[in-house]
Amino acid sequence: MENTEHNNELAVLTPVGIEVTAGGETIAITPIKVKDLNAFLAAIQPVLGDLIKQEIDVMALVLKSPETVIKATAIGCRKPVDWINQLGIDELAKLALAVIEVNTDFFVQKVLPAVQTSMQNLSAKLDGQNLTSSLGKQEPVQS
């Protein structure tokens, strides 16, 4: 049982890539690398809520936030934004979907819960500081 759980976790941590043809090239879409993580997270921030939904509508994302999708797709497929800008919308959607597919399990199952836990911990610490500081400012009760 533990071995199966370990294998499942390992599969999430090391998702496989997929190949997509766009712009006359076959591109291997592989998981985001550490060096691209900050840029990718910043790029997807405006649509992060849409990316954690059960059903992801890539065309709706393109219409909602085209620059976000273009930038995140460029990072995810390791191509310059100018190259992405030369694609047809259908190719952009195909590449964006591949980037999402390759990285979704990792982000949804590992990164998002870690971020949520960190935010909860930070919130708890801030609440504790507010209680302490507000208690320190209270006047003593005189009877």
Task: Give the tens place of pLDDT for each residue, 64-87.
Answer: 999 999 999 999 999 999 999 999
Domain membership of residue 129 (yes or no) is no
**Exposed, middle or buried: residue 67 (CB in 10 Å: 0-12, 13-18, 19+)?**
exposed
Domain membership of residue 94 (yes or no) is yes
Domain membership of residue 131 (yes or no) is no
How many structural domains is the chain composed of? 1
CA dist 122 and 118 (Å) reads: 6
- Any idea what the Cα angle at residue 89 is, between residues 45 and 86, rounded to 5°? 95
List, run by run, the mean pLDDT of 10-residue segments along the chain (143 residues): 52 69 94 90 85 81 92 96 96 93 74 72 75 50 55
Domain membership of residue 65 (yes or no) is yes
Terminus-to-terminus CA distance in the chain, angstroms? 64
Domain membership of residue 66 (yes or no) is yes
- Asked if residues 95 and 20 have their Cβ atoms less than 8 Å apart, the reply is yes
Domain membership of residue 35 (yes or no) is yes
Place of tokens 């998981």: 31
**pTM of the shown model:** 0.65
Domain membership of residue 28 (yes or no) is yes
Length of the chain: 143
Tokens of 133: 């500081």
CA dist 47 and 31 (Å) reads: 19
Domain membership of residue 73 (yes or no) is yes
- Residue 118 CA from chain centroid, whole number: 15
Full domain range(s) for residue 94: 11-106
